[in-house]
Amino acid sequence: MSFTNSRKEQLSSFSFLLPYLLVFVGMIVVPLFWGIYLSFQKVDLFGPGKFIGLDNYVRLLHDRIFRQTVWNTLYFVILTVPALVVVGLLLALVLNQKTRVTSMLRGVFFASTILSVTVVTLIWRIIFIPNDGLMATLFTHIGLEPISFLSDPDWSLISIAIATVWWCLGLPMILFIAALQQIPREIYEAAAIDGANRWAVFFRITLPSIGRTIVLVIIIEIVMQFQLFGQALLMTNGGPNNSSRSMVMYIYDLGFRRWDVGMAAAASQLLFLIILIAAMAQFYVSRRKGADV
């Protein structure tokens, strides 16, 4: 009788998991292996494929523009992820108070996160417009020569990174605030009794207590920022001279403009591999440093 009840409970639990498993397999596992299969094919959207082995990967590695998009994407991640973590943590420390003003400010800073990429790029294109934009007016007012943020190859990707940090800052801030509020107040009270200053409290109590959240935020942002697409497409269209073209934009061009689906699939697999290595490296370094994750 107990065995029958146990089987019923297992079937009941499995029935709750089944919809998620079906979606996971259909939306993640099948496309992943289908993409790997396509990466070894010479195929477009209009006919059968032909197996060509590693030729798509060889062509990618010899493509100068692809190598530049890899560097652009890595540079963008280096620009945005540390900024999102540091600024998000600083905002969380400042706004970790239960007052009406801090609650309102949390909402203000988080509001940018819910905006669409179209609205975000429109706002920042207005800010970066040469001659008449907000930044040009500010530079002129303080006696400096305005910078062509979106048309200068040295500034185009930095400008997109600034807009992206402003857009994505809400999520790290909220996660850090949630982690800070889980730290028992008694620990801070004991530190105050022992005469610990603010820096000692921050480095010896606060940071170690939110170590898992810091690792989580870094991994989430690495995965998100490697997928740069919408803001780069709408703000600069990858220019000037491919200086802001990302790997995802390159994959989009291959698959939906040049119809080279096999090569686009190969580039997608390389992007997936880079993201996986970056996330696992961060996880490994954090474990080596003793973060309990």
CA separation (Å) from 116 to 126, 143, 230? 16, 35, 10
Encode pLDDT of 65-112 as tens digits: 999 999 999 999 999 999 999 999 999 999 988 777 888 888 888 888
pLDDT at 292 over 60: no
Q: For residues 16, 20, 22 and 26, what is the CA-based torsion angle, rounded to 10 degrees?
A: 180
CA separation (Å) from 229 to 83, 121, 247? 19, 12, 8
Q: What percent of the chain has pLDDT over 70?
A: 96
pLDDT band at 1 (very low <50, low <70, confident <90, very high): low
Q: What is the mean pLDDT of residues 50-71?
A: 92
Closest CA relative to residue 175, chosen from 116, 219, 119, 205: 219
pLDDT band at 289 (very low <50, low <70, confident <90, very high): low
Please identify which residue in the block is written with the tokens 């294109």.
125
Give CA–CA dist 76/235, Å, rounded.
Answer: 15
* Structural domain of 272: 55-290
Q: What is the mean pLDDT of residues 179-208?
A: 89
Give CA–CA dist 69/264, Å, rounded.
Answer: 13
Cα dihedral 13, 18, 23, 28 sign = positive
Residue 282's pLDDT is 78
pLDDT at 7 over 80: no
Question: How many domains are there within the chain?
Answer: 1
pLDDT at 293 over 50: no
Q: For residues 32, 30, 221 and 225, what is the CA-based torsion angle, rounded to 10 degrees?
A: 50
The verdict on residue 34 lying in a domain is no
Q: What is the mean pLDDT of residues 24-41?
A: 91
User: Which residues neighbour 228 within 8 Å (Cβ) at sequence distance 6 or greater?
Assistant: 73, 76, 160, 164, 246, 247, 248, 249
Q: For residues 126, 131, 135 and 141, what is the CA-based torsion angle, rounded to 10 degrees?
A: -140
CA separation (Å) from 41 to 46, 65, 76, 132, 178? 14, 21, 31, 50, 47
The verdict on residue 229 lying in a domain is yes
The verdict on residue 122 lying in a domain is yes
Tell me the average pLDDT of the chain.
88
What CATH number did the domain enclosing 228 receive?
Answer: 1.10.3720.10
Q: How many helices and strands (H and E) does the chain possess?
A: 16, 2
In the chain, DSSP assigns E strands to: 41-42, 50-51
The verdict on residue 217 lying in a domain is yes
The verdict on residue 31 lying in a domain is no
Please, where are the H alpha helices in 40-155? 55-61, 64-95, 100-111, 117-128, 134-141
Give CA–CA dist 79/63, Å, rounded.
Answer: 25
Residue 233's pLDDT is 92
Share in percent of the chain as helix, strand, coil (round to 5): 75, 0, 25
The verdict on residue 17 lying in a domain is no
Residue 37's pLDDT is 92
The verdict on residue 200 lying in a domain is yes
The verdict on residue 5 lying in a domain is no
Encode pLDDT of 122-151 as tens digits: 999 889 887 778 888 888 888 888 888 888
Tokens of 74: 């890595």
